[in-house]
Structure 1
Amino acid sequence: MRAALLLIAVVLYGCTANPEQSVSEGKDVRLQLGLAYLAQGKLKLAHPHLQTALKNNPQSLDANLALGQWYLSTNDVDSALSLYQQALSWQPMSGALYNNYAVALCVAGDWKTALTYFDKVRLDSKYRHHDRARKNRAECLARGSHDAAQP
């Protein structure tokens, strides 16, 4: 359980949405509010803002990543996986989506598939968090090896 929580915490590093960006930078106010609440662990307050941000802009990568993180934070892994799969259908080369989807797969226990998605992160040369994705991959691999060794 501790390993799952650790993986969920590190997925924020893979998220391209930044709760510290100012609203004046052209970001969705609802998304910014949701991200701020999410960063503070105020999940009930974050949820309606993140849902509204996604409803207002269904193809916002940041809104999809943020709501996916919210799902993982509330242990709704299936909803996170579904959201990431849908986003990958229209954003198939996003390193951030690959990383976050892989983390969700790892949390779900699908380590082999997760590792393939972690490997796809490198296909996005514009993705700024390749080191974080490599660390997430290593943690997922270690978790998979540890869980496979358990009787």
Structure 2
Amino acid sequence: MNKGLLIGLVALLLAGCSVTAPHSELAGTRLQLGLAWLAQDRLAPAERNLRQALKLAPDDYRCRLAMARYYQRVGDNASALAHYRKALEQAEQNRDVINNYGAFLCLLGQYDAAQQQFSKAMH
């Protein structure tokens, strides 16, 4: 392979990595901010930051889980359920996601389904 072509390909790959890392870091920062606002019951800035995190990292289950918690807090159970299910699709073996989903089902009075989730989280 031509040495110039190889250097060009490596440079292209490295450029792609440098764009992705700050993007991911920004999503993480937005996620942390959103969760901090949510903990303080400051719902407007929580929603704004969590939406931005989800926009930056739509495939990150943590962003979905945080949005589910936000919607749960504001009483929009349909949206919370949709985000919990999406988080489960993205991280189906993650015990935190499964446990949080089970707790949400308990709040909805779906105790049998919740128990299934809790059992799944333990295994």
Scaled by the length of structure 1, what TM-score is found? 0.60
Deviations for 1:97-140, whole angstroms, at most 9, x for unmatched residues? 101111111111211101100111113xxxxxxxxxxxxxxxxx
The Cα of 1:53 is off from its aligned counterpart by 0.3
User: Matched residues in 1 for 2:57 and 2:26: separation?
Assistant: 13
CA distance in 2, matches of 1:104, 1:84: 9
Aligned to 2:117: 117
Structure 2: any 5+ residue segments left out of the alignment?
Answer: 1-24
* Residue number in structure 1 paired with 2:52: 52
Cα separation, 2, equivalents of 1:92 and 1:28: 21
What's the Cα RMSD here? 1.7
* 1:90 matched residue in structure 2: 90
CA contact (8 A) 2:68 2:83 kept: yes
Distance 1:78 1:62 in 2: 19
- Give the aligned length: 99
Percent identity among equivalent residues? 37
Task: Please say if 1:105 is aligned against 2:111.
Answer: no
Amino acid at match of 1:121: A
Gaps of 5+ in 1: 1-24, 124-151
Go from structure 1 to structure 2 and tell me whether the alpha carbon gap of 1:87 and 1:79 turns closer, same or farther (over 3 Å shift): same
> Hey, what's the Cα distance between the residues in 1 that align with 2:49 and 2:65?
13
Distance 1:26 1:52, change over 3 A: closer
Higher RCO (Cα < 8 Å, 6 or more apart)? 1
Matched, 1:78 2:91: no
CA distance in 2, matches of 1:87, 1:39: 20
User: Which deviations, in whole Å up to 9, do the C-alpha atoms of 1:44-81 show, x marking residues without a partner?
Assistant: 11001101101110121221121111111111122111
| 8 Å contact from structure 1 (residues 35, 50) kept in 2 | yes
| Alignment partners' CA distance in 2, 1:36 and 1:26 | 15
Q: Is the 8 A contact 2:69 2:80 kept in 1?
A: yes
